[in-house]
Amino acid sequence: MIYCLYIVPRLFFMRKGAWNMSEKRRDQRNRILRNGESQRKDGRYVFKYRDINGQPQFVYSWRLEPTDRLPAGKRDGPALRELEPKIIRDLEDKISPRGGDMTVIELVQKYLRTKTGVRASTRAGYKTVLNYLEKDSFSGIRIDRVKQSDAKVWLIDLQKGGKSYSSIHSIRGVLRPAFQMAVDDDLLRKNPFDFELASVIVDDSVTREAISRKDERIFLDFIRNDKHYSEYYDGMCILFKTGLRISEFAGLTLNDVDLRARVIHVDHQLQRTTQMEYIIEDPKTESGIRDIPMTDEVYDCFSRIIAGRPKPKIEPFVGGKTGFLFLDKNGKPKVALHWEKYFHYALEKYNRTYKVQLPKITPHVCRHTFCSNMEKSGMNPKTLQYLMGHSDISITMNTYTHIKFEDACDEVVRVCSEQLAAKNHIQRVRMQAIG
């Protein structure tokens, strides 16, 4: 009797378990399917779930387990049970399904709508990137489908297609923070553009280097003596001898140039947008607000510019500023583009005239050259940082100063000469003491 009482309950639970097992859904291979899993008549597996908004969602795969054989002629992809853990994890972390159904271009447009307080030049750069993305098929991809490998391959293809490193840098400079915004908004788990650009594509950008003192002198002598370009000599000379940013230089007014105190007051920049709108902006950084002392050479240049400045019937008025030093034929203030063209065409003329060619010279090269010359002359780095208007001295020392072999040779000779002079001086002092 005891034996029977023991057996019957066991049989009961076994039968109950067997009954439950028979009720569970199975696939065509008789494998038990988990909650949410099913298999269609064509053999395709389906996982049904509800997203964080309570909406039904479906994912599909031709394989249940990673070890399953892919049916002939079917496209490969992750097995259903490889997809499920990610879905569950996203649900637990409240990650929106399918990246909120947002495409790359829609994400970028949303991100740019948040960038309201940027400079006109920055806004113009954003517009350029947006215009390019609108024409590229990559922009139509849903953001949750963009893997890091996809982002890298796309950038590589851009360079292979002729895009410069600087252009790609600008494009990625918009996409990276845009995708980070999607991560912060719980649309994505990871940022596919979070990697070092230089590790993916070749940096083929041309470094704008300072020119030698000799080349600077040759170029300025050519400008001063040229029948056509001599009218730009004073402006070009000021750019070489002050290190002013071209936008700072273009924005100078009569009130900013104090000939009596021999000081240049810098507290703004002049820009012109792609819509031909003239605007006044603050300097690039707070450190950009500064007073620059004039050398005699710079003083003479400003004196001639002010004395020869045309007096328009109506002075242009931009952002509360008037009395701009340089006006075009229409009486409008000259901007960076004007001076860039003057340098370009003048350099072209020189290189057509003489066999020995000069390197590329732009207003920004003038700034590089000034900084390098001052550094090589032994100027205190903090003083140089102030004159350049840099917020960080590392920018001054690492970006704008350029040391070449000839410079190293000169420095070695100088140091050795100073050491020898010091040694001889000590010897003379000792001899005098003995005598």
Catalytically annotated residue among 63, 172, 241, 245: 245
The yes-or-no answer on residue 364 being catalytic is yes
Q: What is d(CA 39, CA 37) in angstroms, rounded to the nearest whole number?
A: 7
Helix (H, G, I), strand (E, B) or coil at 246: helix
Q: Which residues of 254-272 are buried (b: 16+ CB within 10 A; e: fewer)?
A: eebbeeeeeebbbebbbbb
Residues in contact with 366: Cβ distance below 8 Å, sequence separation at least 6, in sequence order: 236, 239, 240, 243
In Å, how far from its chain's centre is CA 262? 37
Catalytically annotated residue among 176, 364, 376, 402: 364
> Are residues 380 and 388 in contact, defined by beta-carbon separation less than 8 angstroms?
no
For 56-62, the CB contacts below 8 A with 24+ separation are 57/97, 57/98, 59/83, 59/87
Six token digits for residue 294: 């004039």
Q: What is d(CA 269, CA 246) in angstroms, rounded to the nearest whole number?
A: 9
Catalytically annotated residue among 126, 232, 278, 400: 400
**C-alpha distances out from residue 1 to 6, 11, 13, 28, Å:** 9, 15, 19, 44
Catalytically annotated residue among 241, 268, 321, 367: 367
Which of 401, 114, 100, 350 is closest to 225 using CA atoms? Answer: 350
Type of residue numbered 383 = T
Q: Which residues of 341-356 are buried (b: 16+ CB within 10 A; e: fewer)?
A: ebbeebbeebeeeeee
Which of 113, 144, 117 is closest to 127 using CA atoms? Answer: 113
> Are residues 240 and 370 in contact, defined by beta-carbon separation less than 8 angstroms?
yes
The yes-or-no answer on residue 228 being catalytic is no
The yes-or-no answer on residue 367 being catalytic is yes
Which of 16, 13, 15, 35 is closest to 24 using CA atoms? Answer: 35
Catalytically annotated residue among 284, 290, 309, 338: 284
The yes-or-no answer on residue 245 being catalytic is yes
| Burial label, 249 (beta-carbon count in 10 A; 0-12, 13-18, 19+) | buried
Residues designated as active site: 245, 284, 364, 367, 390, 400
